[in-house]
Chain A
Amino acid sequence: MATAEVDQQKKFKWIGTRPVRPDGLDKVRGRANYGADHALPGMIWGKVLRSPHAHARIVSIDTSKAEAMEGVHAVITAADLPEILSEESKIGEGPTNFRDLSHNVIAREKALYHGHAVAAVAATTSAIAQQALEAIQVEYEVLPHVLEGDDAQAPDAPILHDDLFTKGVEPRPTRPSNVASRTEMGRGDAEAGLAKADHVITRSFRTKAVHQGYIEPHAVVATLGEDGRATVWASSQGHFMIRAYCAKLLGMDQSQIKVIPAEIGGGFGGKTTVYLEPLAIALSGKAGRPVKMVMSREEVFRATGPASATRIELRMGCTKDGKLTGAHARLEYEAGAFPGSPVGAAVMTLFAPYDIDGCLAEGYDIVVNKCKVAAYRAPGAPMAAYAVETVVDELAEKCGIDPIEFRLQNASREGTQSAFGPKFKRIGNIETLEAAKAHPHYSAPLGPNQGRGVASGFWFNGGMQSSATVQVADDGTICVVSGNPDIGGSRASLAMMAAEEFGIDVKLVDPQIADTSVVGFSDLTGGSRVTFATGMAVVDACRDVIRQLRERAASIWGIEVDAVKWSDGAARATNGDAGLEPLSLRDIALKAARTGGPISGRASLTARGVGMAFAVHICDVEVDPETGKVDVVRYTTVQDAGRAIHPSYVEGQMQGGAAQGIGWALNEEYIYDADGKMENPGFLDYRMPVASDLPMIDTVIVEVPNPTHPYGVRGVGEVPIVPPIPAVVNAVHAATGVRITELPLSPPRVLAAMDARRN
């Protein structure tokens, strides 16, 4: 671990500057290789047959006609993959059970959602593969299905899993249930706190499933040879994750699988699990040829993980002078077809921005006949923030207190006992609120039909395991090798931290992302952790190299290593030995062969001391009183980044999170028909914002350095999606007087609410 701290007041040469990102030119010129760009000689095409039913027993699958077709090299069903026992996984982001994962990749006894994979083929062309899918005969026994979390809890609801008994309730249930688990978290006595309140607001909220909307659909090329060794080229948030999952699901050793990361065209949490990769390996093994699989956008919508649909009931109370006294929440999160919604994280984050004596949150994880949810940027938190931050807005209004002032009065700070366990260490909650309050946006005049909303957000951020190696070339340039796909500019940030450590120009640092066989294990890119944790590994590896550089200089000079320091890109003798000119990195590198051989350093660590993140967003909307259309006319994000290594990519995260959250608030939703088939599996009717829907999103980076990171870094990627929903909803309330408790705020819903108030 990087223990030696950098002086937080020190002036940096590279940290906080905005050099051109090393991967930028290839990306804008179209040369970067994404998942679908890879090809191999002899490669064939894989496709997936998907269930046309939301819930059905698979009676039989006859693949003989497909197998007999000219050009078809392999057909697989669940029978071609090993049966996996129930076992909790710690690999991905959020809870996963290996057996569930296996059954999600390809249905074994039952298809549990419309779009669930039931078979896969590989053929010489994509068209033949498609025809072969149509030749597979599956006999289904259609079962009653359940699509909504409410209905799934009814006593007579169809049960998805006969062996699923609600965890976390006493006594242990004797009948299977669609409620996978109950969790709770809190502090003090919530009911006593609520009883002390002068104002108590009780509200019930509903949100729909939304997709991360990454531009790049899932894609993979895989080979599995006769020797039992596989190579996989795939776009994901973690190639070590793919290796571990595929090994488990296919009964292979991890050493038999090499995964080579492609550039990633967006993930936002959605690429923290596997869908196609195990199938591609299995098909390749059966066909004896490399197999390529690429999802269509429709498949991405029908069969990959969105964020949970939710129902949240919330009671919060405060005194008449605005002190929050108690809060109680019941959160029901849909997990899709298998347990594992992020309700646990929701329960933990919900009240984090506030110091409330008595609060309790109960979370329920509920299975329904829809695709299994996946992580999406601060998993679980945005929906919970929707509830808490709109009720806080309402309480502030009741007390006649400015909403930022109300939050400041109740803000958690260093030393506050959190509801989820630890006392907060150094956090920037107050600083972000104050920066928001001072921003000119907060006091700017509004036009007709306009309103302003604010909301806070919190996210833990992640630490986890990372590795890095740093190699010195004999011309004095540096290669920084790490194992995390670059999803938001992390190559640039890692190179800058290395340049800062060595005291050399950042252009001399080449940051590379290596495959699973080249660099040490690294947990996936998620939890806003890479610049923080992999950054720590890079700094440690650089310091390992610098130690060796000092040793080489000492040996060249014939003095003690303690008498050599490293500064500004050179080894310097500390006690001013006459005639000892500083030896630059290049000077030492040139002599490496004669002073002990190549110079490289490495670090593998579990990163501790994560810096938690807070954000405050200010949103102005204009609402058309006759059509209910909401336009976001001004938006400002304020966020504690700890320290922004490359401010452009911090700002990009803040803007991207805000844009996604605004889409979630206004128009995005999965729409299902009565049979459980998604009706809008494309970007025409799954309405993410387009560029012209949004104003320029202003950013204010607050820097309250994380004292445990060598450069003060906190994660920045997730917290910006937490405040937007309530910021938009509070702004709509300010503009129209209506508080809307169900997402999305589509024009018909807003107009109906306004009409109801007018009548």
Chain B
Amino acid sequence: MNGSGYEAPRTVEETVTLLQQANGAARVLAGGTDLLAQMKMGMTSPALLIDVKKIPELASIEQTADGGFRIGAAVCGAALAEHAALVAAWPGIVEAARLIGSEQIQGRASLGGNLCNGSPAADSVPALIAAGATCTIAGPGGTRSVAVEDVITAPGKTCLATGELVVDFRLPPRPDGSDARAAKAGDAYLRMIPRSEMDIAIVGAGVSLTLDEAGVCTAARVGLGAVAATPLRVDAAAAALIGTTLDDAALAAAGEAASAAARPIDDKRGTIAYRKQVAGVLTRRAAKIALARAGGNG
């Protein structure tokens, strides 16, 4: 890992300029927990590292005027967990981000890095997909908003063009749950690993749902990780939940839809059959946790 230049710009505009000038030879450095490991293993040797942790928009969390959240792309997992309002509104996203690596890694690893590394097994991505999160991408032509599920295009590949970077993630507003008779929402993320931590998901499942005052699911989204070349949004699994109270039949149907949507490979971490089966199991289980968090009869 020799010979890399290093810049730490203070603005998104400077960053875009540096990225453009490097013409593909630069890499954005947030926590560096994937990038530095890849450099050490000789998988990549960028001419320039652009550290984005000093850019205020990338390093902050805010509640937006509509009641949603804006999370800077370089905010680390530990900081997500310390934001009480975010934890209350989106526990599934926070728990997904918190599963990445060790305590030390948690002080560095970011949602932006987890997404842009392009791994199909990235833990935070299925949770963000389930949440309906979008990301703001800045580039030479200005900024654009892209749904999280559309960012990763293949293992290690994203839709970002040369000169572009992810600035932040936007989460939609949630019913706050303060009125027991009003709509409520909950989300959850589960992953299967053979150990208890320090591992990479064999399967990951994120579920987010909204219940009306009667406890009927009015909106749901399901994201799956590590079961295809990219993280998946599984609308059929969500559809199986919408209009139900998440009774056993609905959960089973959602699980089956998730298993059916999974298109995994056999590799050193798991088999096709196992991943398809467990995608269904985790979808059901995550849906039940999300239901409980939304105050439903889980």
Contact = CB atoms under 8 A, between A and B. Distances in A.
Given A671-B268, A748-B271, A627 B195 contact: no
A627 B196 contact: no
B153 interface: no
B274 A692 contact: no
Interface stretch (A53-61, A239-247, A643-651, A683-691): A683-691
Given A627-B281, A671-B268, A680-B268, A690 B197 contact: yes
A748 B195 CA distance: 13
Given A671-B268, A680-B268, A692 B196 contact: yes
Question: Chain B contact residues: over half helix, strand or loop, or mixed?
Answer: loop
B194 interface: yes
A627 B200 CA distance: 16
26 contacts: A127-B2, A627-B192, A627-B281, A629-B192, A629-B194, A666-B194, A680-B268, A684-B198, A685-B269, A687-B194, A687-B195, A687-B199, A689-B195, A690-B196, A690-B197, A690-B198, A692-B195, A692-B196, A693-B195, A747-B192, A747-B194, A747-B202, A747-B278, A748-B271, A751-B277, A752-B273
Contacts of A687: 194-195, 199
B163 to A, nearest CB: 31
Nearest to B3: A127
**Best-buried of A627, A671, A687, A747 by chain B (most CB within 10 Å):** A627
Interface residues of A, number: 23
Contacts of B68: none
Interface in A701-759: 746-748, 751-752
A28 to B, nearest CB: 18
B197 A685 contact: no
A626 interface: yes
A127 to B, nearest CB: 6
**Best-buried of B194, B196, B200, B278 by chain A (most CB within 10 Å):** B194
A667 B195 contact: yes
A677 to B, nearest CB: 12
Contacts of B274: 628, 747-748, 751-752
A321 interface: no
Interface in A665-702: 666-667, 671, 679-680, 684-685, 687, 689-690, 692-693
Question: Chain A contact residues: over half helix, strand or loop, or mixed?
Answer: loop
Contacts of B46: none
B270 interface: yes
A489 to B, nearest CB: 27
Contacts of B273: 748, 752
Nearest to B1: A127
Interface string A157-179: 00000000000000000000000
Nearest to B274: A748
A689 B197 CA distance: 9
A751 B195 CA distance: 15
Contacts of B202: 747
A629 B192 CA distance: 9
Contacts of A752: 273-274
A208 B278 CA distance: 25
A80 to B, nearest CB: 28
B192 to A, nearest CB: 6
Contacts of B199: 684, 687
B196 A685 contact: no
Interface of A: 127, 626-629, 631, 666-667, 671, 679-680, 684-685, 687, 689-690, 692-693, 746-748, 751-752
B209 to A, nearest CB: 21
Which 3 residue pairs are nearest across A and B when measured between Cβ atoms? A748-B274, A692-B196, A626-B281
A427 to B, nearest CB: 37
A690 B278 CA distance: 23
Size band of the B side of the interface? 10 to 19
Contacts of B200: 684-685
Contacts of A685: 200, 268-269
B17 to A, nearest CB: 31
A746 B197 contact: no
A479 to B, nearest CB: 40
Contacts of B196: 631, 690, 692-693
Contacts of B269: 685
Contacts of B270: 748
Contact of A627 (B197, B268, B278): B278
Interface of B: 2, 192, 194-200, 202, 268-271, 273-274, 277-278, 281
B272 to A, nearest CB: 10
Contacts of B277: 751
B113 to A, nearest CB: 17
A628 B281 CA distance: 11
Nearest to B197: A692
Contacts of B278: 626-627, 747, 751
A690 B195 CA distance: 7
B45 to A, nearest CB: 12
B195 A746 contact: no
Contacts of A748: 270-271, 273-274
Contacts of B268: 671, 679-680, 685
Nearest to B285: A626
Contacts of B198: 684, 690
A551 B278 CA distance: 78
**Best-buried of B195, B271, B281 by chain A (most CB within 10 Å):** B195
Contacts of A684: 198-200
A418 to B, nearest CB: 38
A519 to B, nearest CB: 40
Contacts of A667: 194-195
A127 B270 CA distance: 36
B121 to A, nearest CB: 11
Contacts of A671: 268
A704 to B, nearest CB: 37
Contacts of A692: 195-197
Contacts of A626: 278, 281
A132 to B, nearest CB: 15
B221 to A, nearest CB: 23
A626 B200 CA distance: 19
A272 B199 CA distance: 31
A626 B269 CA distance: 18
Given A684-B198, A748-B274, 10 more contacts: A626-B281, A627-B278, A631-B196, A684-B200, A685-B269, A687-B195, A747-B192, A747-B202, A751-B274, A752-B273
Nearest to B190: A627
B257 to A, nearest CB: 17
A684 B199 CA distance: 6
Nearest to B270: A748
A105 to B, nearest CB: 25
A692 B198 CA distance: 10
B270 to A, nearest CB: 6
**Best-buried of A671, A692, A747 by chain B (most CB within 10 Å):** A747
A752 B269 CA distance: 15
A685 to B, nearest CB: 6
A692 B194 CA distance: 12
Contacts of B195: 667, 687, 689-690, 692-693
A671 B197 CA distance: 21
A24 B256 CA distance: 55
Contacts of A751: 274, 277-278
**Best-buried of A684, A687, A692, A748 by chain B (most CB within 10 Å):** A748
B194 A746 contact: yes
A679 B196 CA distance: 22
A599 B270 CA distance: 65
Nearest to A679: B268
A647 to B, nearest CB: 29
Nearest to A751: B274
A631 B2 CA distance: 43
Contacts of B192: 627, 629, 747
A693 B195 CA distance: 6
A680 B267 CA distance: 11
Nearest to A688: B195
Nearest to B267: A679
